Amino acid sequence: MRVLGIIVEYNPFHNGHLYHLTLAKELVKPDYVVAVMSGNFCQRGEPAIIDKFARTEIALLNGVDLVLELPFVYAVQDAGGFARGAVWSLHNTNVVTDIVFGSESADLSFLQKIAEVMVKQPDPFPTLMREELKKGHSFPNARKYALMRYFDLTKEMDPKQVLRIEKSNDILGVEYIRSLMILGSQIKPHVIKRVGAEDRDERFQGKFSSATAIRKCISNGDWEKVAKALPVNSLRVVSRELNEGRGPVLLQHMETLILSKLRLMDRAQLQRLHGFDEGLDKRFIDCASKATSLEDFFACVKSRRFTLSKIRRLCLYALFDVTSDFVEKSNTFGPQYLRVLGFSAKGRELLSKMKRVSRVPIISLCSLYRKVLDQSMKKPERFQIHPELFEQQLLYDIRATSIYSLLFPKQSERIGDKDFKVPPIMIT
Amino acid sequence: MRVLGIIVEYNPFHNGHLYHLTLAKELVKPDYVVAVMSGNFCQRGEPAIIDKFARTEIALLNGVDLVLELPFVYAVQDAGGFARGAVWSLHNTNVVTDIVFGSESADLSFLQKIAEVMVKQPDPFPTLMREELKKGHSFPNARKYALMRYFDLTKEMDPKQVLRIEKSNDILGVEYIRSLMILGSQIKPHVIKRVGAEDRDERFQGKFSSATAIRKCISNGDWEKVAKALPVNSLRVVSRELNEGRGPVLLQHMETLILSKLRLMDRAQLQRLHGFDEGLDKRFIDCASKATSLEDFFACVKSRRFTLSKIRRLCLYALFDVTSDFVEKSNTFGPQYLRVLGFSAKGRELLSKMKRVSRVPIISLCSLYRKVLDQSMKKPERFQIHPELFEQQLLYDIRATSIYSLLFPKQSERIGDKDFKVPPIMIT
């Protein structure tokens, strides 16, 4: 049995995603496709434009058999944490045999070589890394320069090649492979060349536009363009969600929430949170006082050292109180459950196979999580889970959903704890 | 030298307030008038319709000489805590000789008798109180029944008279007198009969309408009515504030802030806050999940036991993290400073007298608070202040202002830390 695993945000599902999925299926010829998908908040530190239930529906309509939620604590981390949580989730299914991901370079051996140096830390890489960090470079830059110097010394690769991983999908690709290596996973990675616009490209480029460009068209109500860039069923669900007042959900809607939370916090509180190092705590507090909008705030905080995505993610950490301790534990012990967001008829078959072999418990109905946890604790030979971390990870998913609902344009849709109320999405 | 002290919210300053001020001056014939005024949040658990700086300006224009800010921690407490903070502030000036307050009964000896029983707790009042509480009555109701039974036994007063303190200004009046008694203050209380509409009366009643009715007209843009109910200079400042995008500030604007904060909290966190007893923690969490609006939320939480004002105040405690510990310390040790919001030319004279005799340090420029605190700590013979509580009380005032600004309709007005930026309002 071959099971293809993919790691997605589908924010929203567009023609590029469908193309990627089709190619990946041709490559792996899987019996089943499993996607691990960000929930209501994405890696760019923004709320998804429509909610995870609708995005699950679209994924299923387009040939994914089973959609699992990437827990919030991983979904809103940098490439390293995101990749770790996602790959670990697929590994935890214990049924996924192949992962396919898009890449600008599409050069697997190159990505593997880099990942290997990161994982194995061969001499003198650790020394080079320390030296570059001492020079005051940010962590990703220090790593880049250390890698270049390492390959210059070892002649394993042309040092300039390292610069190829600057592109966001290659950064993720390296992290996926690295996570597979760390886990000692048997899952086989494959890369396929990305087509169309780059993720960050905000310009509409017709059929293969970036998700960023498409979200912009959706929030501007430019449906003619949106229709060009989305598969028909995706367009239908996105329109329905907006018609029913459940979108578009935009970061803009969180302006007062984020600024007020920051204005109510002190440095000591921010310092307990993930990522507020390098003086970012003071910077955030000063800028939250000066800024009268999120845009002002980002402009105030931003510097060459900190990307906008990082700043947005830190805003979410502040709003949701994502502590360093919680992130470190999550990165050390991995996702504690597999939350099922939805499945097709085939997905249901896969799910019953998975239930027998998965490395962590499976939560199909969130309201029954206690029962799932209690039963899993009785099987220590199968599950090495940490009950407190399990509950904490799930609590953040639930809270993320409760806050997300408050951002819906239509008031009557703003109910909390939707995770307890919405059963898995099923497509037949 | 006679100095009249008054306790006000001026939300907004209307004809009834002017009438009260005129009468009070006739009664006391003071050399100076000092008002202690709520800041940006009021005792009803709502943001003031325009900010404390504009409300100070109006007070000064109408004959108040000096406006002091009632610290947030007292301004948003129930009648007891509000009165305690306000009276204690006036007592701390060490220049106020008389307090005049409005009252429905306008019967000082009656209010004093009740306050005396509350303060001195003569037998068998404590026993009666315990019995009534055991029956499951809320604290104010238990007190009412215990007082009735006490007077029935002692024949000091017709027990039915106790029911007269049901009116909100009489409740406050009793609390003012009680606070004066507890402090052993030499300040002389006076009552004057209230005119016009009751505070809670939402109907517009012409010239003497309630602040509630007037706020409603302001938010509906019914300026013809507003003009009838406000003195000309009040109307002018209120209009200016609204034209400049600094109002109307309404509780409604805090809907997402409050619901999201509650959805992010757990019972243990709520239980650390002031007032979340009698199962209100669970009730708040359940209702915040179900409710899609503040209105829904209030309807869900409300019961005969909990007034709407109390529920709104608790929402502010949740938003601002007002802990029991902080409130208890504040009620035990009193306001730690006198924050000057504004003064007239006469007020400036009074302020310089006050600086020599006040019982707590005076903060005229908030940005210099550290200096004020440090210098005050060097005079332990004059000031018995608690530096941590001083900073905590001030921090909450500053935060309240920072959050309040975010509620302004005009984006460019939403700057934080305005307390550090706005000097005292001066009227010449």
- Encode pLDDT of A47-84 as tens digits: 999 999 999 999 999 999 999 999 999 999 999 999 99
- Under an 8 A CB cutoff, do B415 and A289 touch? yes
In terms of CA atoms, which chain B residue is nearest residue A291? B415
Interface size, chain A vs chain B, as Cβ–Cβ contacts under 8 Å: 72
What stretches in chain B show pLDDT beneath 50?
Answer: none
- Under an 8 A CB cutoff, do B406 and A290 touch? no
- Under an 8 A CB cutoff, do B288 and A411 touch? no
Closest CA–CA distance from residue B418 to any residue of chain A (Å)? 9
- Under an 8 A CB cutoff, do A415 and B320 touch? no
- Under an 8 A CB cutoff, do B414 and A264 touch? no
Cis, peptide link before residue A122, omega less than 30° from 0: no
The confidence score (pLDDT) of residue B278 equals: 82
- Under an 8 A CB cutoff, do A415 and B256 touch? no
The confidence score (pLDDT) of residue B171 equals: 86
The confidence score (pLDDT) of residue B199 equals: 62
Output the CA angle A324-B401-B332, nearest 5 degrees.
85
In terms of CA atoms, which chain B residue is nearest residue A396? B264
Residue B295 and residue B281 in contact, taking contact as beta carbons nearer than 8 Å: no
In terms of CA atoms, which chain A residue is nearest residue B254? A256
Cross-chain CB nearest to B403 (options A263, A413, A417): A263
Closest CA–CA distance from residue B260 to any residue of chain A (Å)? 6
Helices (H), B65-210: 72-75, 79-93, 108-120, 125-134, 139-154, 168-183
Closest CA–CA distance from residue B359 to any residue of chain A (Å)? 30
Cross-chain CB nearest to A292 (options B263, B321, B414): B414
What b/e readout covers A143-176, taking b as 16+ CB neighbours within 10 angstroms?
Answer: bbbbbbbbbeeeeebebebbeebebbbbbbbbbb
Cross-chain CB nearest to A414 (options B257, B292, B321): B292
- Under an 8 A CB cutoff, do A406 and B264 touch? no
Name the β-bridge partners of A323: A273
What pTM did the predictor assign?
Answer: 0.94
Rounded CA separation A207/A195 (Å): 11
The confidence score (pLDDT) of residue B39 equals: 98
> Regarding beta strands A32-38 and A3-8, do their DSSP bridges make them parallel or antiparallel, or are they unpaired?
parallel
What stretches in chain A show pLDDT beneath 70?
Answer: 196-200
Cross-chain CB nearest to B403 (options A264, A402, A417): A264
Residue B7 identity: I
The confidence score (pLDDT) of residue B184 equals: 96
The confidence score (pLDDT) of residue B197 equals: 59
- Under an 8 A CB cutoff, do B256 and A406 touch? yes
Helices (H), B136-254: 139-154, 168-183, 211-220, 223-229, 232-243
Cis, peptide link before residue B189, omega less than 30° from 0: no
Phi, psi of A191 (to 5 degrees): -120, 145
Cross-chain CB nearest to B256 (options A256, A292, A320): A256
CA dihedral A152→A153→A156→A157, nearest 10 degrees, is 0
Closest CA–CA distance from residue A24 to any residue of chain B (Å)? 39
Residues of B in Cβ contact (< 8 Å) with A321: 264
- Under an 8 A CB cutoff, do A402 and B320 touch? no
Rounded CA separation A254/A294 (Å): 9
In terms of CA atoms, which chain B residue is nearest residue A253? B256
- Under an 8 A CB cutoff, do A417 and B259 touch? no
**Pair of tokens at residue B296:** 């829904």
- Under an 8 A CB cutoff, do A256 and B406 touch? yes
pLDDT in tens, B206-248: 899 999 999 999 999 999 999 999 999 999 999 999 999 999 9
If one counts every other C-beta atom within 10 angstroms of the C-beta of residue A27, the result is: 14
- Under an 8 A CB cutoff, do B416 and A320 touch? no
In terms of CA atoms, which chain B residue is nearest residue A409? B292
- Under an 8 A CB cutoff, do A412 and B292 touch? yes
In terms of CA atoms, which chain B residue is nearest residue A296? B412
Rounded CA separation B175/B78 (Å): 10
Closest CA–CA distance from residue B317 to any residue of chain A (Å)? 13
Task: Find the chain B residues whose C-beta atoms sit closer than 8 A to any C-beta of A.
Answer: 256-257, 259-260, 263-264, 288-293, 319-321, 399, 402-403, 406-407, 411-417
- Under an 8 A CB cutoff, do B263 and A320 touch? no
Task: Find the chain A residues whose C-beta atoms sit closer than 8 A to any C-beta of B.
Answer: 256-257, 259-260, 263-264, 288-293, 319-321, 399, 402-403, 406-407, 411-417
Cross-chain CB nearest to A320 (options B264, B290, B319): B264
Residue A316 and residue A41 in contact, taking contact as beta carbons nearer than 8 Å: yes
- Candidates A72, A258, A260, partner chain B, best to mutate (most B CBs within 10 A): A260
- Under an 8 A CB cutoff, do B288 and A257 touch? no
Residue B354 identity: M
